[in-house]
Structure 1
Amino acid sequence: MVQLEQFKRFKEEITRFMMMYKFALDSLETKIDILKEEFQFLHDYNPIEHTNSRLKTPESILNKVFRKQCDISFSSIRSNIKDIAGLRITCSFVSDIYRISEMLRSQSDLNIIETKDYIKQPKPNGYQSLHLLVEVPVYMSDRHENVCVEVQIRTIAMDFWASLEHKIFYKYKQTVPLRLLQELKEAADSAAALDRQMERLHKEIAEIKENQEEEEIGSTKRIVIRNQEFQLPAALMELIDLGQSNE
């Protein structure tokens, strides 16, 4: 009977423990959805292609506890394992990565406790991504907890390379030959070059669009009669604006 009670208590504790991380992910994903909608409304552009969240399983957490030689306690796990909850954000362009990062930093109830920029300083194998450890407030029925979520922000090209690289290494049980490592690094360099090219094209197109919008605004202040342009007087434009505001 005592063992049954202990098992029930442990089951309740681990359930509450995992629920905290789930709620932290839910809260962060809601924030991201709001930012996406706001950005789309204000700028007619969405910097986020898609998001993907995951929770480590209790088995995976336990395996990492053994690898890191941590104490088997909930407080020790929270202190030593920071990637129990993970959120991956995929963007179109590198500039979007840092834009999303700044949006998260501006949230007053989030605390960025660590940043690892593998874009400015890629890993030796070519891996690129921006990693943030974010503390998210979670309000339970009887307490408030700050829960850590690992956020990875990367471009489509970075995500494509990382996914394939993981699959290759996951299936390869032995030491990967040096030739394959070099090819993977070259593929990562190619993906980075593609990102730079697409970023340049994106900026050039944005500049063209901005110039067109300025020309459209300027054209509204002119009239054309028999191929001759007439600039509308500023005083007349003020009267039109005044009349519209009084309607």
Structure 2
Amino acid sequence: MILERGSAVNTSEIRQRLETLDSQHLANLSAGEMVEFVDLMQVYEGAMREISTKLEVLDTEFQVQFSHNPIHHMERRLKTANSLIGKLERKELPITVESVKDHIFDVAGIRVICNYRDDVYSVSRYLSDQSDIQVLRVKDYIRNPKQNGYRSLHIIYAVPVFLTSGPHYTPVEVQFRTIAMDYWASLEHQLRYKSDLPDARLAEHSQTLLDCARSLQNVEVQMQSIHRDISGSPQEQESDDEMLEHLRSLGEEQRGKGNS
């Protein structure tokens, strides 16, 4: 079963937030531009739903074929108006719909929490192989963890959202990670952004978390081995370079079709 955490976009709330934001750039937006922002958020919400539905179908098929649900749960989020405007200002970009479309690729985000590392790569591969999806960018922090120990597979997809004006390919950032990777990342995020500890304590906890990341990785490898032995679900077969090359080639092939 997939437990989805998140709520649908509230256009009235978005409109209200845009109208009350303390931004000199935003104050210059016309009523028409404000409506465009609200409409754009609805498109991103539609894109998230498209990806979510595809993931739910894949999870159900895995259960039918292999008696195993690879997805533990999913979390969806749409950037708040404050966060979106702030990111545009930090990049010194104009506060326009076009700026968002051209430069911000994580407005819509889905976090897919899987049970095992094999599940991460199986689900991401099957999703990436679907003909109506474009792979725009791949960052594999599982095979190449960040220095602080962070592990996750980040893929930015473009998925068509069908409106009255036709299909609009819209980016959605999907983060694939295991349960262990997720609760580690949640604690690290809390330590980094939501704590006011002295620098010495912060450095101490950061080092401990790095040690924990290594330990969790070892535990996951052992548990994955047991799961492989008792389950008939798809396993990760490719080498690191082959997997990344496969995803990158998909993106290049799909972009080529789009330009033809």
TM score, norm. by length of structure 1: 0.78
Please list every run of 5 or more consecutive structure 1 residues that lacks an aligned counterpart in the other structure. 1-5, 208-247
| Structure 2 CA distance for aligned equivalents of residues 133 and 206 of structure 1 | 30
Residue aligned with 1:136, SS: strand
| Contact kept in structure 1, 2:93 and 2:99, CA below 8 Å | yes
Shift of 1:110: 0.3
Higher mean Cα deviation, 58-67 or 120-129? 58-67
| Contact kept in structure 2, 1:114 and 1:133, CA below 8 Å | yes
| Structure 1 CA distance for aligned equivalents of residues 168 and 230 of structure 2 | 45
1:112 aligns with 2:135: yes
1:75 aligns with 2:98: yes
Residue aligned with 1:86, SS: strand
1:65 aligns with 2:88: yes
Equivalent in the alignment of 1:165: 188
Shift of 1:46: 0.9
| Contact kept in structure 1, 2:135 and 2:156, CA below 8 Å | yes
Shift of 1:176: 4.0
Q: Sequence identity of aligned pairs in percent?
A: 39
Correspondent of 1:187 among 209, 212, 219: 212
Please list every run of 5 or more consecutive structure 2 residues that lacks an aligned counterpart in the other structure. 1-28, 233-260
How many residues get paired? 202
Residues 112 and 127 of structure 1, relative CA distance in 2, 3 Å threshold:
same
Letter matched to residue 39 of structure 1: F
1:21 aligns with 2:38: no
| Structure 1 CA distance for aligned equivalents of residues 148 and 227 of structure 2 | 28
| Contact kept in structure 1, 2:66 and 2:231, CA below 8 Å | no
Within a 5 Å distance, the mapping from 1:29-44 to structure 2 comes to 29-44=52-67
Q: Deviations over 1:123-144 (max 9, x none)?
A: 0000000000000101112232
Shift of 1:179: 2.0
Correspondent of 1:143 among 166, 175, 179: 166
| Structure 1 CA distance for aligned equivalents of residues 220 and 199 of structure 2 | 27
Rg larger in 1 or in 2?
A: 1
Correspondent of 1:84 among 104, 107, 115: 107
Shift of 1:82: 0.9
Q: Deviations over 1:32-83 (max 9, x none)?
A: 1111111111111111111110000111101111122222221112221111
| Structure 2 CA distance for aligned equivalents of residues 17 and 116 of structure 1 | 26
Residue aligned with 1:134, SS: strand
Q: Root-mean-square deviation (CA), in Å? A: 1.6
Residues 120 and 175 of structure 1, relative CA distance in 2, 3 Å threshold:
farther
Letter matched to residue 227 of structure 2: H
| Contact kept in structure 2, 1:70 and 1:77, CA below 8 Å | no
Residue aligned with 1:116, SS: strand
Within a 5 Å distance, the mapping from 1:228-239 to structure 2 comes to none
| Contact kept in structure 2, 1:161 and 1:188, CA below 8 Å | yes
Equivalent in the alignment of 1:10: 33
The structure showing larger relative contact order (alpha-carbon pairs under 8 Å, at least 6 residues apart) is 2
Within a 5 Å distance, the mapping from 1:167-246 to structure 2 comes to 167-173=190-196, 176-177=199-200, 178-206=203-231
